[in-house]
Amino acid sequence: MTKIKTVDHLASIKTYEGVKPLEVIAEELNIPVAKIIKIDGNENPYDPLPEVLAALSSLKNIGNYPDILCSNLIQILAKKEKLEVNNFVISSGSDELIELLIKAYANPSDTVLSVTPTFGMISFLAQVHGIKHKAVSQQLVKKESFAHYVLDEDQFLDEANRSKIVFIARPNNPDGNVVSESFIERLVALPVLVVIDEAYIEFSDFHSLAKLVPQYENFVVLRTFSKAYGLGGLRVGYGIMPNDIRKVLVSIKQPYNVNIAGQKAAFAALSSPLVDQRITEMKKTREWFINQLKMVQNQLKNFWIHPSDACYVLLTFESPEIPKNLYEYLYSKGILVRYYSSSDMINNLRISIGLQENMVKVIDEIKLFLKGGN
Ligand SMILES: Cc1ncc(COP(=O)(O)O)c(C=O)c1O
């Protein structure tokens, strides 16, 4: 028998750590699914939007292939963003656009640049395609209750000059920080493709940079229906970009990349007044949660809170044991938060913003754990 070897660049690939399905965890913990508080994947905590459920239940013609271009969805998005229809590509989650951009624009000798820490999909997809990935480390700065990752912008610009594509999540995952618009303007003046991932922009007080797209040939903004619109399971994202880049991506994407259910659901979600209400509630809960954490922090002083413009809060602890034990403690109570096993993030836990009533339970458990001398 002959064992078939993969292409060389896959020999040492680091698998992307996704989140486990809820049903699997419920069985593991012997807890009903409904009792689990899932705040590990930055997902939307609310029930599906009624407009989405209505659209899904009225689906017909699912035996036919979907519209390749998602024309209805693009039209409504173009109107909403006050841009042209030929500035949009719809994708199977914004993840797909990260991959398409790498496929279309990075040669094996090119470098894809991002910061660290950031969304793991960028380095993962660069590796999958055998493209060099470089990450500029951000410095962790602690000040009173808060911690911040600070980017050396000049160092990043210098690296960007030697790169083909630059990805910046704004707000960044995992910390929720937002880089300045003036920094992005300096970046986009360089001969590099600048991709701003706005997966969490709806939760931020900073506005989107999509309005800059018509001014540049090398500027792309990514958005998603997975977070503010609660459609993570249906996989719909979109990119806003110059027409020349759009044409390239459309020419190489899988034709039927977004299924009929996803197209209809995203269209319906855009008409729901509940979306903005829920975002407002989540921002209030985020504020409340950070204040509660600050009160705990005043007494215990063994962790720092990252101010966040997104739907999650990152906590940095003084040593790796505390986040690991806290993660395990919360897990045993059916509260799932994001634990990091990688050495650069081992002192951190990321907690997504869930429903207010659940976040009350979360803070109570955190208090119990931390006051227990851990
Ligand atoms: C920064 C960032 N970008 C993109 C995504 C992926 O979004 P999608 O579900 O649209 O693929 C995530 C998901 O967590 C994310 O954190």
The strand pairing partners of 223, in sequence order, are 238
What's the gap in Å between 95 CA and the centre of ligand 1? 6
> What is residue 14's predicted lDDT score, i.e. its pLDDT?
80
Task: Please write the tens of the pLDDT for every residue from 279-314.
Answer: 999 999 999 999 999 999 877 778 999 999 999 999
Task: Please write the tens of the pLDDT for every residue from 13-25.
Answer: 887 777 778 888 8
Q: Is the pLDDT of residue 172 over 80?
A: yes
Looking at residues 237-241, what average pLDDT do you find?
98
Task: Please write the tens of the pLDDT for every residue from 324-342.
Answer: 999 999 999 999 999 999 8
Q: What proportion of the chain, given as a percentage, has pLDDT over 70? A: 99
What's the gap in Å between 198 CA and the centre of ligand 1? 9
Looking at residues 8-34, what average pLDDT do you find?
86
Looking at residues 184-206, what average pLDDT do you find?
98
CB atoms within 10 A of CB 157: 17
Sheet holding 37-39: strands in order across? 37-39, 335-339, 348-352, 312-317, 303-305, 146-150, 139-143
Ligand 1 atom closest to 172 (CA): 1
> What is residue 54's predicted lDDT score, i.e. its pLDDT?
98
Kindly indicate the confidence band of residue 123, based on its pLDDT and cuts at 50, 70 and 90.
very high
> What is residue 11's predicted lDDT score, i.e. its pLDDT?
85
Q: Is the pLDDT of residue 44 over 80?
A: yes
Ligand 1 atom closest to 235 (CA): 9
> What is residue 108's predicted lDDT score, i.e. its pLDDT?
92
Q: Is the pLDDT of residue 374 over 60?
A: no
**Ligand 1 neighbour 224 (Cβ under 6 A):** yes
Question: Mind listing the domains of the chain with CATH numbers?
Answer: 14-43+274-371 (3.90.1150.10), 50-269 (3.40.640.10)
Q: Is the pLDDT of residue 48 over 80?
A: yes
**Ligand 1 neighbour 236 (Cβ under 6 A):** no
Task: Please write the tens of the pLDDT for every residue from 134-147.
Answer: 999 999 999 989 99
What's the gap in Å between 199 CA and the centre of ligand 1? 6
What's the gap in Å between 298 CA and the centre of ligand 1? 33
Kindly indicate the confidence band of residue 93, based on its pLDDT and cuts at 50, 70 and 90.
very high
**Ligand 1 neighbour 257 (Cβ under 6 A):** no
| Between 165 and 29, residue with greater pLDDT | 165
Q: Is the pLDDT of residue 373 over 60?
A: no
Provide CB contacts within 8 A for 164, sequence distance 6+. Answer: 105, 106, 107, 110, 111, 112, 192, 193
Question: What string of DSSP letters covers 232-245?
Answer: GGG--EEEE--HHH
> What is residue 175's predicted lDDT score, i.e. its pLDDT?
98
**Ligand 1 neighbour 93 (Cβ under 6 A):** yes
Could you tell which of 94, 234, 314 is best to mutate to test the pocket of ligand 1, judged by most ligand atoms within 8 Å of the CB? Answer: 94
Q: Is the pLDDT of residue 197 over 90?
A: yes
Task: Provide the mean pLDDT of the chain.
Answer: 95
Closest CA to 157 of 141, 180, 136: 136
Distance from C-alpha of 363 to C-alpha of 365, rounded to nearest angstrom: 5
Sheet holding 219-224: strands in order across? 88-91, 237-240, 219-224, 193-197, 165-169, 111-116, 132-137
Looking at residues 76-99, what average pLDDT do you find?
98
What's the gap in Å between 69 CA and the centre of ligand 1? 21
**Ligand 1 neighbour 119 (Cβ under 6 A):** yes
**Ligand 1 neighbour 169 (Cβ under 6 A):** yes
Q: Is the pLDDT of residue 243 over 90?
A: yes
> What is residue 297's predicted lDDT score, i.e. its pLDDT?
86
Ligand 1 atom closest to 94 (CA): 10
**Ligand 1 neighbour 232 (Cβ under 6 A):** yes
> What is residue 300's predicted lDDT score, i.e. its pLDDT?
73
203 three-state secondary structure: helix
Query: In what helix (H) or strand (E) does residue 292 lie, and over which residues does it extend?
Result: helix 274-300
Kindly indicate the confidence band of residue 114, based on its pLDDT and cuts at 50, 70 and 90.
very high
Could you tell which of 40, 89, 123, 173 is best to mutate to test the pocket of ligand 1, judged by most ligand atoms within 8 Å of the CB? Answer: 173
**Ligand 1 neighbour 238 (Cβ under 6 A):** no
